Amino acid sequence: MTDTFTLAHLSDPHLPPLPAARLRDLAGKRALGYLNWTRNRHKYHRREVLDALVADMQAQRPDHIAVTGDLVNLALEAEFTPAQAWLESVGTPQQVTVVPGNHDAYVRATRHHFTGTFEQYLRGDAADGASFPFLRRRGPLALIGVSSAVPTLPLMATGRLGRAQLDALDRQLAQLRPDEAFRVLLVHHPLNSTSRMKRLTDSKALRAVLKRHGAELVLHGHDHIHSTMWIEGADRQIPAVGVPSASALPHRHYPAAAYNLFTIARDGEKWRCVQTVRAVDADFRVKQIKQATLL
């Protein structure tokens, strides 16, 4: 077996606390989101939890870190500067790759703030600016980032890639051979969902692209739960792995904050990938809770 490469994955930090909002900023969808935050979500998304999780992740010394969206909550202008400072504390643009989530594009007025603020973290290796899909090569990995983040109506949290992004992804994957790179797709929304309000609306088209060309791993967030689903690929099933919110205390049907570590290596003619799950306990200590061989 060749040398290993370790990829860490966290998602949905929903960076607390929410900054003070002006009354004029709380029209429409943001009004409901602000009410939800002040009544409920602020109890469960805690900065000390997020800090404990990131500190443990950094102590593992991963070769690269993927963050699959929802850095902010209501996409208020005042949220992006603290989010940028937090991301810079996680790692440099060389060390960290980011894609946006639906909360990062919460309303049309600020839907482009994420791309502008975090451009260095979602710029492809050969690109002059940020565009989707983007490709970054890190060690044996080919990291492909897509954006499913679109503004939606109140009470909706759906995502969409769109035809242009899907066509570009199709061309990009067609040029990447599995024997040359371990292909990782980063997307915020899961590829399968039973929720009409939270689904990726063109997931069928995305799965068709993956069936044609394959990939080794899909990483996502959005659902705030541990999940592994298997997507049909070109010659085998592809693991699509989700992770809980990186700032969450356990509540209702949602588990405590966690992140995944993927240890990746070439093993003869095939890739080998082992997943390690580390989660926060009631005392804000982070412990390994699971290990599984995906490939």
The domain that holds 249 is classified in CATH as: 3.60.21.10
Q: Which contiguous run of DSSP H or E holds residue 293?
A: strand 286-293
pLDDT at residue number 178: 87
pLDDT at residue number 226: 97
Q: Which residues pair with 288 in a beta bridge?
A: 278
Q: Which residues pair with 8 in a beta bridge?
A: 65, 261
pLDDT in tens, 89-143: 999 999 999 999 999 999 998 889 999 999 999 999 987 777 999 999 999 999 9
* Dihedral, CA of residue 275, residue 122, residue 151 and residue 219, to nearest 10: -10
- CB of 143 closer than 8 Å to CB of 135: yes
Indicate the number of domains in the chain. 1
> pLDDT below 70 — which residues of the chain?
1
What distance in Å separates the CA atoms of residue 189 and residue 69, rounded to the nearest whole number?
9
pLDDT at residue number 114: 94
Q: Residue 157's domain spans which residues?
A: 5-293
What distance in Å separates the CA atoms of residue 285 and residue 245, rounded to the nearest whole number?
16
What distance in Å separates the CA atoms of residue 278 and residue 187, rounded to the nearest whole number?
21
Number of Cβ atoms within 10 Å of the Cβ of 94: 11
pLDDT at residue number 288: 97
pLDDT at residue number 1: 59
What distance in Å separates the CA atoms of residue 82 and residue 104, rounded to the nearest whole number?
13
Residue 78 buriedness (CB in 10 A; 0-12 / 13-18 / 19+):
middle
Of the candidates 220, 50, 73, the one whose C-alpha atom is nearest the C-alpha of residue 145 is: 220
> What are the structure tokens assigned to 61, written together?
């010394």
Q: Which residues contact 13 (CB under 8 A, 6 or more apart)?
A: 50, 67, 70, 71, 86, 245, 246, 247
- CB of 169 closer than 8 Å to CB of 210: no
pLDDT in tens, 260-281: 999 999 988 899 999 999 999 9
